[in-house]
Structure 1
């Protein structure tokens, strides 16, 4: 059986760093939100063939 290369979803956390001090205060929160999003996508989303996503 031929192995199919399925597309992947990338989660990139982004913080607007133009204001001084804002970036540092939001890094942990933003990273946690990105990890939670990746977990949600991995658990709930499926390809048309039924395979799970790799986020």
Structure 2
């Protein structure tokens, strides 16, 4: 279970395993596809590669 902000209904909802439709490993991380409670198909990228892509380096 995880939470997600839906781009269709603009709500933050809990997503349960029964709503997950696929998980695909990519170079950018694990792409999880699922269906929101409103019926909209959504995706979320997670995993180690996704976390490394989000790191920000600040220049001094």
TM superposition score normalised by structure 1: 0.25
Bigger Rg, structure 1 or 2: 1
Q: Which has the higher contact order (CA 8 A, sep 6+)?
A: 1
Q: Higher helix share goes to which structure? A: 1
TM superposition score normalised by structure 2: 0.24
